[in-house]
Amino acid sequence: MNRILIIGSPGSGKSTLAQKLGRIWSLHVIHLDAHFWKPNWVMPQEAEWDQTIERLTMQEQWIIDGNYSRTMDKRIERADLIILLDMPRWLCMYRIFKRRVMFHKKTRPDMNEGCEEKIDWAFVKWVWQYPKRSRMKTLNKLEQAAASGKQVIILQTRKQVKELLHDQIQYRVHTQK
């Protein structure tokens, strides 16, 4: 397994899972937010973002976390494994408020410098509406990916995430013997 893509709602745990899997598999972790947002939350031009995605996905090994639906197909195409964190809405909402408090006047480790943690009504609304707005489109993309031979894992609970991590650690230990 050389390229792992982790997607899901904001607050679903993508960055945390990416970091943990990165340590288990010794893979470079790429947080898309850190590449997308420029200091002071400035967005790149579409062409610039497309070039960034091309450059990042052409690497031989990676774990990429992040959605950015316009460029998701390119990442799915290059990934060996796609993990969807399909977590409950209440959990994602809790986590976005929790990280706002934890990183008050700071930049999260998975963000670009100069992007202090913030929360506004538009973002809260975006997270709240994720299941209705984006979930089915993402599931359809993953169904197509699985039909083309990609490995797809959908996790819906924190317990399933813990089990996946446990299984990956056990597999890694077993294969290193």
Rounded to whole angstroms, how far apart are CA atoms 67 and 6? 8
- b/e 143-172 (16+ beta carbons within 10 angstroms → b): eebeeeebebeebeeeeebeebeeeeeeee
**Cβ atoms within 10 Å of 175's Cβ, excluding its own:** 7
Q: Provide the pLDDT for residue 176.
A: 65
pLDDT digits (tens, 9 = 90+) for 142-167: 999 999 999 999 999 999 999 999 99
Position 39 scores a pLDDT of: 92
**pLDDT tens column, 52-101:** 999 999 999 999 999 999 999 999 999 999 999 999 999 999 999 999 99
Residue type for position 26: S
Distance of alpha carbon 58 from alpha carbon 78, whole angstroms: 8
Res. 171 pLDDT band, cuts 50 70 90: confident
